[in-house]
Amino acid sequence: MMTMVDLKGLKAKAVEAMESEGTLRVVVGMATCGQSAGARRVMDTLKKDVAELGLDNVKVAVTGCVGMCTYEPILEVLEPGKKKVTYIRMDPEKTARVVKEHLQGGKPVLDYTVGHDHAGNLKNLEDLQFYAKQERIVLRNCGAIDPENIHEYIARDGYAALRKSLLEMTPQTVIEEMKKSGLRGRGGAGFPTGLKWSFAAPNKADQKYIICNADEGDPGAFMDRSVLEGDPHAVLEAMAIGGYAIGASKGYIYVRAEYPVAVERLKIAIGQAQEMGLLGRNIFGSDFSFDVEIRLGAGAFVCGEETALIASIEGKRGMSRNKPPFPANKGLWGKPTIINNVETLANVAQIILKGADWFRSFGTEKSPGTKVFALGGKINNTGLVEVPMGITLREVIYDIGSGCPHGKAFKAVQTGGPSGGCITSADLDTPIDFDNLVAIGSMMGSGGMIVMDEDNCMVDIARFFLDFTVDESCGKCTPCREGTKRMLEILDRIVAGEGTMQDLENLEDLAENIRLTSLCALGQTAPNPVMSTMKHFRDEYLAHVQDKKCPAGVCKALLGYVITADCKGCTKCKRVCPVEAITGEVKQMHVIDQALCIRCGACFNVCSFNAIARN
């Protein structure tokens, strides 16, 4: 059984192992995204070459995602007392050179690093603008520790918060601390976590449950995956603390089956924690016992909704039900149950360890702490960023994300996934928190932040989200099942150039009805993408309906191509046209027969003289 003294000793040993003099610690980011970018081959070469050269002082470790997707695969070299060296966009050949020149020869390979300052000092990831405004609480261990090694987690104060809770605090004081911290649920709605726990704590039952919601379904959001892959023990520790606070001895992690790496690392983490007595019976010699089991989802977005998630764990179709009774009173198998999102849980141990006041020193009065965003779409620095609440969207998109690529104009940023809305440049100076985003017609959601530029059609984007909701509606309540389908049909007509002004009115009517009458949040929020684009980009809807034009040039049925006087008669377009709609002689202006043209855009893409106009 683990005692308090053991944990301290373990920590000292683990720190020594990670930072002992003369050792070079080499880490490779091996989250799913790193692996797809080729990190596995980098790792194989690294291990092979280090072994062949007999470099005994080099310790190779796997680590999670550091958040800078554009630079993957990333390899970092850490040496005690020296500045960390970051190598980016690695491949096996580059790795072989780093092993020889840096690990063996002691000289960093400047060509593969992120550059250096005027004085010639080597820069690493932390010196980049990308990280300057970030504050890492949730992601503090991601990219720093080996997620498959519990000792490295312990070296960074892992399980110290659980020890403190069990030995120095009562369940009530744990809940009070959480309430005081003001932590709000990071899954989307922002319900105060401490308050939620306090609902389940007084309920008398022979069994209570705590569930970690890792069914990260929002397209474009991957922070939960990153935490599970980079720091799984933080989630397990928080679940145990939550279990202690509400009186639950059993936890479930409901995780998407699409995340095989996360599932594997969770399994390893649970095994290690059980082996060391950090999960199981009488943890730290207290009379608190707690265990965790993994349950896999099977591809249903609605299972992110808590009652649907519970139904799924019970082995049923993942359909939501009416509330009340709330899960805190009647949840899994009718027992009091608390469900928290991965990112929410990743804050808990830090709050217990450092206190509510420390946590409140980040963020805003009503939304303390940080938020992790998955920055994607038309942005230069795609990646995972953790910023204090209250930062403006402009800072995130321009200072951290460094704007839209290819000099294109920013059009909108979408937050909150299929439940959220689009935010235009007019609102970019809004400080980000739960309430402000709702006020400007979007929502926090789980933290996907998709940037769109002038080439994206907002009607098409609204159609895309509705298509998603129609597909993912569980089918239980009529407004969501039928209503979203009717909305999608209208949008399909509009993008096909068959929309009418009546259609726009009907869309708004339907949206309002679905919002008011759907059973769960999936339906209630499904019209949001349509509502927000209709509000901010009504001119685009009108262009589709009245002028039968798609201003962004996306909706193929509404496009037309004409050849202008710039045509040099090179015949390139004529040769590429799949339906022989283009005629013309060499060195003479060509013409597109509009009756034959299928608007595929092949000629537009191939023209070297910008002589084809799209309208």
Partner 1 sequence: MGSASRPASAKDRMPEDPEVNQNRFGTGVGNNTQRRLGNVNDQSKCACSCGCITAEDPRFAELKSYIDSLKHEQGITMPVLQEAQRAFGYLPLEVQKFISENTGVPLAEIYGVATFYSQFAIEPKGRHHVGVCMGTACYVKGSQNVLDKLVEELKVKVGCTTSDGRFTLEATRCLGCCGLAPCIMIDDDVFGKLDDVSRIPDILGKYE
185 near partner 1 (CB under 8 A): no
228 near partner 1 (CB under 8 A): no
211 near partner 1 (CB under 8 A): no
464 near partner 1 (CB under 8 A): yes
DSSP string, 72-122: -S-EEEE-TTS--EEE-S--HHHHHHHIIIIIIT----GGGBS-B-TT-PB
Taking the complex as a whole, the smallest distance from the CB of residue 411 to partner 1 amounts, in Å, to 10
234 near partner 1 (CB under 8 A): no
Q: Is the Cβ of residue 496 or residue 591 nearer to partner 1 in the bound state? A: 496
Provide the 3-class DSSP secondary structure of residue 6.
helix
User: Please, are residues 403 and 429 in contact by the beta-carbon 8 Å criterion?
Assistant: no
Alpha-carbon distance of 544 to 560, in angstroms, equals 13
Using CB under 8 A, pick the residue from 296, 438, 542, 570 that binds partner 1. Answer: 296
The residue type found at 231 is: D
483 near partner 1 (CB under 8 A): no
User: Please, are residues 6 and 200 in contact by the beta-carbon 8 Å criterion?
Assistant: no
468 φ/ψ sector (left φ>0, alpha ψ -120 to 50, else beta) = alpha
Alpha-carbon distance of 284 to 592, in angstroms, equals 79
73 near partner 1 (CB under 8 A): no
Using CB under 8 A, pick the residue from 143, 217, 243, 441 that binds partner 1. Answer: 217
> x/- contact string, 299-318, with partner 1 (CB under 8 A)?
xxx----------xxxxxxx
Using CB under 8 A, pick the residue from 461, 581, 607, 611 that binds partner 1. Answer: 461
Question: Which residues are within 8 A (CB) of 415 and not within 5 positions of it... i.e. 6 or more apart?
Answer: 421, 423, 437, 442, 443, 444, 445, 447, 448, 449, 450
Strands 250-255 and 209-214: parallel
Taking the complex as a whole, the smallest distance from the CB of residue 316 to partner 1 amounts, in Å, to 7
42 near partner 1 (CB under 8 A): no
141 near partner 1 (CB under 8 A): no
Which among 48-56, 322-330, 371-379, 559-567 is the span making contact with partner 1, rule CB under 8 A?
A: 371-379
Task: Output the CA angle 289-7-226, nearest 5 degrees.
Answer: 75
Q: Is the Cβ of residue 552 or residue 592 nearer to partner 1 in the bound state? A: 552
Question: Which residues are within 8 A (CB) of 582 and not within 5 positions of it... i.e. 6 or more apart?
Answer: 563, 573, 574, 590, 591, 592, 593, 603
The residue type found at 608 is: S
Strands 58-63 and 24-29: parallel
The tokens describing 100, both together, are: 């020889």
Taking the complex as a whole, the smallest distance from the CB of residue 498 to partner 1 amounts, in Å, to 12
Question: Would you give the DSSP letter of residue 290?
Answer: B
378 near partner 1 (CB under 8 A): yes
Q: Is the Cβ of residue 166 or residue 495 nearer to partner 1 in the bound state? A: 495
Q: Is the Cβ of residue 345 or residue 374 nearer to partner 1 in the bound state? A: 374
Using CB under 8 A, pick the residue from 471, 509, 539, 585 that binds partner 1. Answer: 471
User: Please, are residues 550 and 459 in contact by the beta-carbon 8 Å criterion?
Assistant: yes
Task: Output the CA angle 176-182-183, nearest 5 degrees.
Answer: 105
454 near partner 1 (CB under 8 A): no
225 near partner 1 (CB under 8 A): yes
Question: Would you give the DSSP letter of residue 428?
Answer: T
219 near partner 1 (CB under 8 A): yes
548 near partner 1 (CB under 8 A): no
Using CB under 8 A, pick the residue from 100, 556, 568, 599 that binds partner 1. Answer: 556
Which among 5-13, 68-76, 191-199, 269-277 is the span making contact with partner 1, rule CB under 8 A?
A: 68-76
Residue the block writes with tokens 């839209």 = 404
32 near partner 1 (CB under 8 A): yes
Taking the complex as a whole, the smallest distance from the CB of residue 412 to partner 1 amounts, in Å, to 10
Question: Pick from 347, 401, 119, 92: which is nearest to 235 by CA?
Answer: 347
Q: Is the Cβ of residue 176 or residue 492 nearer to partner 1 in the bound state? A: 492
555 near partner 1 (CB under 8 A): yes
Taking the complex as a whole, the smallest distance from the CB of residue 231 to partner 1 amounts, in Å, to 16
**Residues contacting partner 1: total by CB under 8 A:** 64
Taking the complex as a whole, the smallest distance from the CB of residue 450 to partner 1 amounts, in Å, to 5
Using CB under 8 A, pick the residue from 6, 91, 176, 467 that binds partner 1. Answer: 467
Taking the complex as a whole, the smallest distance from the CB of residue 33 to partner 1 amounts, in Å, to 5
Q: Is the Cβ of residue 171 or residue 416 nearer to partner 1 in the bound state? A: 416
81 burial level (CB within 10 Å; 0-12, 13-18, 19+) = exposed
374 near partner 1 (CB under 8 A): yes
56 near partner 1 (CB under 8 A): no
337 near partner 1 (CB under 8 A): no
242 near partner 1 (CB under 8 A): no
HSE-up of residue 49 (Cα within 13 Å, Cβ side): 20
User: What's the distance, CA 513 to chain centroid?
Assistant: 30
Using CB under 8 A, pick the residue from 158, 194, 417, 499 that binds partner 1. Answer: 417
User: What's the distance, CA 353 to chain centroid?
Assistant: 26
602 near partner 1 (CB under 8 A): no
Q: Is the Cβ of residue 170 or residue 615 nearer to partner 1 in the bound state? A: 615
What are the phi and psi torsion angles at 446 (to 5°)? -85, -10
Which among 161-169, 264-272, 421-429, 450-458 is the span making contact with partner 1, rule CB under 8 A?
A: 450-458
Alpha-carbon distance of 231 to 372, in angstroms, equals 14
415 near partner 1 (CB under 8 A): no
The tokens describing 291, both together, are: 């265990």
Query: Which stretches of 355-500 are DSSP H helices?
Result: 356-360, 393-394, 434-439, 458-472, 478, 484-495
Using CB under 8 A, pick the residue from 414, 419, 436, 532 that binds partner 1. Answer: 414
Residues that bind partner 1 (CB under 8 A): 32-33, 35-37, 69-70, 72, 216-222, 225, 257-260, 295-301, 312-318, 333, 374, 376-378, 382-383, 414, 417, 448, 450, 452, 456, 460-461, 463-465, 467-468, 471-472, 474-475, 492, 495-496, 555-557
